[in-house]
Amino acid sequence: MQLRGAETGCMVRLMQGSSPQERRALGQARRKQVGRHQHDDLKPKARPATALAMLERAMRGRVPALLRLKHQLMAVSPFAYLRGAAPVMAADLAVLPNTGILCQLCGDAHVRNLGAYAAPDGRLVFDINDFDETIRGPFEWDLKRMAASLALAGRESGHKEPSARAAVEQCMARYAAQMRFDSCAAGVRELDMEALRY
C-alpha cells in the first residue's frame, strides 16, 4: 500500500474497509516514515512556554486551595509530578515526530489511572478509568505517557532500573499483541457483517 499526499493525514479514511493485512502494511509504512529511534528525542526547549507557565494556564479557574494541594502533591516525587503535569508532557510530545495515526487519547495515561469496573454486560474490566484530559492525538502519546509512568512508579516503589524497564517492555509488548488481535478480530467482524448483508 502506498501513501499519497492528502491521504497521509487521515488514517481513518485509509483504514475504513481495509483488511487486517492492509492495516498492517499501512502501520509498517508509517513506522518507516517515523522510525522507532525517532521517538526518544525529547526537546524541552521547543516547548511553547515554560512548564510552570503551562501548568498555570491549565489551572485557571480552579479552586485556589485545591491548587496549592495539587502543587504540594506534585512536588513529592517525579511520578507525582508526571501525574499532575499532563499539559507539559503533551507539549513535549507535540513537537516530536509521530506516525499520524490518530485516535481518541486518554490524555493522562498513567498507572494510577488504571482500575477495574463492571462492563454493561456485567464482566469485570481492567482498563483506563480517567478521561478528564481526553484529546484527539497520535496514539503514541498515551503509550509514551504510560511507559514513563511505569518507569517512574517502579523507581518510586523501590524497584531497580532493570525491573522498571522490564515492566515498560512488557506493557509495550502486550499493547502490540492486543493491537494484532484486535486487527484480526476487526477483520473477522467485517467478514461477519458482509455475510449478513446477503
Is residue 154 pLDDT above 90, yes or no?
yes
CB-CB contact of 111 with 149 (8 Å): yes
Measured CA distances, 125 to 114, 117, 129 (Å): 10, 5, 10
pLDDT 10s digits, 37-69 = 887 778 888 888 999 999 999 999 999 889 999
Q: What are phi and psi of 102, to 5 degrees?
A: -95, 150
Q: Which residue has the cell 478480530?
A: 185
Contacts of 197 (CB under 8 A, 6+ apart): none
pTM of the entire predicted model: 0.79
Provide the pairing of β-strand 114-118 with 102-105. unpaired
Q: What is the pLDDT of residue 40?
A: 77
**Residue spans per domain, the chain:** 40-196
